[in-house]
Amino acid sequence: MGVHSFLCSSPWFRMVTDLQKEIQEAVQQRRNFAIISHPDAGKTTLTEKLLLYGGAIQEAGAVKAKRSQRAATSDWMELEKQRGISITSTVLQFNYHDCTINLLDTPGHQDFSEDTYRTLAAADNAVMLEDAAKGLEPQTRKLFEVCRMRNIPIFTFFNKMDRPGREPLELLDEIEQELGLQTYAVNWPIGSGDRFRGVFDRRKQQVHLFERSVHGKRQAKDTTLEWGDPQLADLIEPDLLQQLQDELELLEGVGTEFDLEAIHAGQLTPVFWGSAMTNFGVELFLEAFLDYALKPGARRSSVGDMAPDYPEFSGFVFKLQANMDPRHRDRIAFVRVCTGKFEKDMTVQHARSGRTLRLSRPQKLFGQDREVLDDAYPGDVIGLNNPGMFAIGDTIYTGKRLEYDGIPCFSPEIFAYLRNPNPSKFKPFRKGVSELREEGAVQIMYSADSAKRDPILAAVGQLQLEVVQYRLENEYGVETLLEPLPFSVARWVEGGWDVLEKVGRLFNTTTVKDTWGRPVLLFKNEWNLRQIEADHPELQLRSVAPVA
Q: What is the DSSP string of 174-223?
A: HIIIII--EEEESEEEE--GGG--EEEETTTTEEEEP---STT-SPPP-E
Distance CA 50, CA 205 (A): 24
SS3 of 373-426: CCEECCCCEEEEECCCCCCCCCEEECCCCCCECCCCCECCCEEEEEECCCHHHH
Among 20, 22, 24, 64, binds ligand G4P (CB under 6 A): 64
Binding mask 221-260 for ligand G4P (x = CB under 6 A): ----------------------------------------
Within 263-302, the residues that bind ligand G4P by CB under 6 A are 275-277
By the rule CB under 6 A, 162 interacts with ligand G4P: yes
Asked if 43 touches ligand G4P (CB under 6 A), the answer is yes
Q: How far apart are CA 469 and CA 479, in angstroms?
A: 7
Told to check if 350 binds ligand G4P by CB under 6 A, we report no
* Single residue of 22, 29, 39, 164 touching ligand G4P by CB under 6 A: 39
Torsion angles phi and psi, residue 75, rounded to 5: -65, 120
Among 70, 81, 141, 163, binds ligand G4P (CB under 6 A): 163
E strands in 212-267: 223-226
Binding mask 96-125 for ligand G4P (x = CB under 6 A): ------------x-----------------
Cα–Cα nearest to 88, from 342, 281, 361, 332: 332
Q: β-pairing, 268-273 with 223-226?
A: unpaired
Q: CB of residue 110 vs ligand G4P: minimum separation in angstroms?
A: 10
Quickly count helices (H) and strands (E) in the chain: 17, 31
CA–CA separation, 239 and 227 (whole Å)? 16
Q: Which is nearer to ligand G4P, 38 or 295 (CB)?
A: 38
Give the whole-angstrom CA distance, residue 208 versus residue 225.
7
Find the shortest distance in angstroms from Cβ 455 to ligand G4P. 33
The angle subtended at Cα 58 by Cα 54 and Cα 63, nearest 5°, is 90
- Is 37 a binding residue for ligand G4P by CB under 6 A? The answer is yes
Q: Whole-number minimum distance, CB 500 to ligand G4P, in Å?
A: 41
Percent helix, percent strand, percent coil in the chain, to nearest 5: 35, 30, 35
* Closer by beta carbon to ligand G4P, 166 or else 513: 166
Contacts (CB under 6 A) with ligand G4P, residues 505-544: none
Using CB under 6 A as the binding rule, whether residue 45 contacts ligand G4P is answered as yes
Least distance in angstroms from the C-beta of 65 to ligand G4P: 9
How many residues bind ligand G4P, per CB under 6 A?
17
From the CB of 67, what's the least distance to ligand G4P, in Å?
Answer: 6
Q: Which stretch binds ligand G4P (CB under 6 A): 157-165, 199-207, 393-401, 439-447?
A: 157-165
Contact between 42 and ligand G4P by CB under 6 A: the answer reads yes
Considering only 31, 66, 83, 160, the residue that binds ligand G4P (CB under 6 A) is: 160
Overall residue count recorded for the chain in this entry: 548
Task: Output the CA torsion sign for 449, 455, 461, 465.
Answer: negative
- Binding residues for ligand G4P, per CB under 6 A? 37, 39-45, 64, 108, 159-160, 162-163, 275-277
